[in-house]
Amino acid sequence: MKITFIGTGSGKASLNRNHSSLLVTSGEYNLLVDAGDGISRALISNGISFKTINGILFTHLHPDHFSGLPSLIVQMKMLNRNEPLDIFIHESLKPVVEEFLIRSYLLPERMEFEIHYKAFADNERFIITEEFSFLARKNSHLGNLEKFQIKYPSLSLYSASFLFETRDIKVIYTSDIGSEEDLLLFREFVPDIFISEMTHISIAAIIESVIKINLGKVYLTHYSDEDIPKISEILASLPKTLSEKVKLAEDGFSFEI
Ligand SMILES: [Zn+2]
């Protein structure tokens, strides 16, 4: 498995870093995890051809994770893509995404490639290829919006954290979370790599979890430029045993496991 950080920024637009997005490669399959505002430019700046992306998985629909989708599809169309594109989306959000693309004039009749919607259910392993699968578990990231569901009953508040697996390699990705408990959503698994966001959780809480439970190697992402001095200070003060385990990810950084 290969992980490439396409973007490590927060929801705040930055000239230095892209909104958070990962490319998870397993064998021949390239899965883009989230496609927020500016994703097309973000992929170009990382030297990743649109044609090589087999599927896009959405963790939730906040604009910094989702709103780049129609323009990315337009880019693929302009490059005369023929291969189908998979879109992995929670079952409650599939109609929203489908409708959004239609409303963006991306009509199936006018496309040279097919979009295959792969709706996944919560806490059910989804098989992508023979050796590559994921497990989504709902987290509390959008819990603060529950009160609005009375006014907007069709509003889906599904936001998930993910476990990616290739053979026996396990990678946990928190995506955007809402509380410290969300760090423990996959507590029965021992991951090789744990990727955590940092906008909605303190670095202290992440480090505490690293100590308490075996999170494997930890990569931190989804942070604002203004947070960097503070994060660097905290990371620099860690004892060696921990500083070797916890790393701050940068745009374009990639590793294989
Ligand atoms: Zn979010």
Q: How many CA atoms lie within 13 A of 179 on its CB side?
A: 8
* Residue 32 Cα to ligand 1 middle (Å): 17
* Residue 60 Cα to ligand 1 middle (Å): 7
Q: What is the pTM of this model?
A: 0.96
* Residue 14 Cα to ligand 1 middle (Å): 16
Q: What is the rounded average pLDDT for all residues in the chain?
A: 95
pLDDT digits (tens, 9 = 90+) for 3-23: 999 999 999 999 999 999 999
pLDDT digits (tens, 9 = 90+) for 18-31: 999 999 999 999 99
* Residue 121 Cα to ligand 1 middle (Å): 19
* Residue 229 Cα to ligand 1 middle (Å): 23
The pLDDT confidence band at residue 216, using thresholds 50, 70 and 90, is confident
Q: Which residue type, as a one-letter code, is found at position 182? A: D
Phi, psi of 175 (to 5 degrees): 55, -160
Angle at 3 between CA 158 and CA 115, to 5 degrees: 55
Residue 51 has pLDDT above 90, yes or no: yes
* Residue 82 Cα to ligand 1 middle (Å): 32
* Residue 54 Cα to ligand 1 middle (Å): 24
For a pLDDT cut of 70, what percent of the chain falls above it? 100
Residue 210 has pLDDT above 80, yes or no: no
Average pLDDT over residues 66-85: 97
d(CA 53, CA 86): 9
pLDDT digits (tens, 9 = 90+) for 82-122: 999 999 999 999 999 999 999 999 999 999 999 999 999 99
The pLDDT confidence band at residue 80, using thresholds 50, 70 and 90, is very high
Q: Which pLDDT value is given to residue 255?
A: 96
* Residue 18 Cα to ligand 1 middle (Å): 14
Residue 241 has pLDDT above 90, yes or no: no
d(CA 3, CA 24): 5
Are 32 and 21 in contact by the 8 Å Cβ rule? The answer is yes
* Residue 122 Cα to ligand 1 middle (Å): 18
Q: Which pLDDT value is given to residue 164?
A: 98
CB atoms within 10 A of CB 208: 13
* Residue 95 Cα to ligand 1 middle (Å): 20
Helix then strand count (H, E) for the chain reads 7, 14
Average pLDDT over residues 27-36: 98
Residue 152 has pLDDT above 90, yes or no: yes
Q: Which pLDDT value is given to residue 182?
A: 95
Three-state secondary-structure class, residue 143: helix
Residue 215 has pLDDT above 80, yes or no: no
